Amino acid sequence: MRTERAIYLHEYVPRSELVVERQVVEKPRFPVIDFHIHLGSLTNGEEGEVKERLVRHIEELRAVGVEHVVNQEMQWGQELYRVLEMLAPYSDFITSFGSVDITQLDDPNFPAMVAQSLEHGVELGMRGIKVWKNVSLGMKDKNGRHIPIDDPRLKPIWENAARLGLPVLAHIADPVAFFKPVDRFNERFEELQRHPDWSFCSPELFTFDELMEQQARLLEGNPDTTFIIAHMGSYAENLGFVGECLDKYPNMYVDMAARLAELGRQPYTARKFFEKYQDRILFGTDCFPGRLEHLRYYEFLETWNEYFDYSSSEIPGQGRWRIYGIGLDDEILEKVYNLNAKRLLKLDTGGV
């Protein structure tokens, strides 16, 4: 029987008829440190409300096997200090990164401001620095030019990070499809239709290749600074490239946050990558309160399950495909889940 009419792509929600065994994972095999999570929405409001929301969210995370999280928010100055003081009672569960006010880049006092801001942050409990993609893809200097992530004027941030022993989590680029025309060939077409502001295909912006060149110069030019290049080293679609970077730059780590869809559709390549770089990969989800997807990450890392959803959405947000597990051995799994993070942060969580 033929359909009565043609259907639009957004109406098409196919249901797989594949019948395969599926191992259910309700808890990870080892305690988890989520290195890339966002708690920002929980820290606004009256003290009593904030405490109630934080306690509830911590309970939700513990229920899915998370023993510790690293809060990655773009905050500096008084706002950062406020949040650090607010989260201090939960330091057994929450480690916080902070940032720097890069809008002050052209101020002659920028180097001193960076040093003072980071030092005070460390005194209040900050344990790392977060730098977001807006540095290269949004912000402009006083001359109206976009600021490359390897701009020499940013050097005080990396030097002070090394001096204070602060790792830097850098979100430098988005999926490579975001830098290509939004046309019928773009595998993220539906996503970019929903979020047109996520497209960076513009002659006014740095290209993806230019961002990767900046990333390389950043890593090479600051060998004493430890960088975690977020979202699988900026290029989860090309793990061969990421592996070459890890081989070349010993100060580079990666986190797997928000790249489950990419990793899970290349299980053979991903498993080899995790085996080879098991000491340089950090578990992360990029999740926020109200949206926990941890069990899907565990299923990917721990099982050999085939062709399962990487998202709870009826239409997957990052592409119309499903993923496969990579069945990591326990030795590798424990490193990815918590040991690498503990070593990098010099973290003693007690329970981990």
Is 142 a member of any domain?
A: yes
Q: Which pair of tokens denotes residue 66? A: 């998370």
How many domains are contained in the chain? 1
Is 4 a member of any domain?
A: no
The mean pLDDT of 139-152, rounded to a whole number, is 96
Is 135 a member of any domain?
A: yes
Q: How confident is the model at residue 323 (pLDDT cuts 50, 70, 90)?
A: very high
CA dist 122 → 43, 80, 113, 164 (Å): 19, 11, 14, 8
**pLDDT tens digits for 213-272?**
999 999 999 999 999 999 999 999 999 999 999 999 999 999 999 999 999 999 999 999
Q: Which ranges constitute the DSSP H helices of 165-207?
A: 189-194
314 three-state secondary structure: coil
Cβ atoms 139, 178 nearer than 8 A: no
This model's pTM is above 0.85:
yes
Is 299 a member of any domain?
A: no
Is 10 a member of any domain?
A: no
Cβ atoms 178, 192 nearer than 8 A: yes
In whole angstroms, give the CA distance from residue 88 to residue 94: 8
The predicted structure's pLDDT at residue 243: 98
Question: How do 66-72 and 94-98 pair as beta strands?
Answer: parallel
**pLDDT tens digits for 269-287?**
999 999 999 999 999 999 9
The predicted structure's pLDDT at residue 3: 58
**pLDDT tens digits for 157-190?**
999 999 999 999 999 999 999 999 999 999 999 9
The predicted structure's pLDDT at residue 349: 53
Is 322 a member of any domain?
A: no
- Show Cβ contacts of residue 213 under 8 Å, excluding neighbours closer than 6 positions: none
> At 113, which CATH number?
3.20.20.140
Q: Which pair of tokens denotes residue 3? A: 């359909």
CA dist 128 → 133, 148, 205, 300 (Å): 17, 21, 28, 28
Q: How confident is the model at residue 326 (pLDDT cuts 50, 70, 90)?
A: very high
Q: Is 45 left (phi over 0), alpha (psi -120 to 50) or beta?
A: left
Task: Answer yes or no: is pLDDT of 336 > 60.
Answer: yes
**pLDDT tens digits for 71-102?**
999 999 999 999 999 999 999 999 999 999 99
DSSP state of 311: S
CA dist 161 → 207, 293, 303, 307 (Å): 27, 31, 38, 42
Is 280 a member of any domain?
A: yes
The predicted structure's pLDDT at residue 351: 45
Domain containing 86: what range?
31-292+330-345
Is 196 a member of any domain?
A: yes
The predicted structure's pLDDT at residue 63: 96
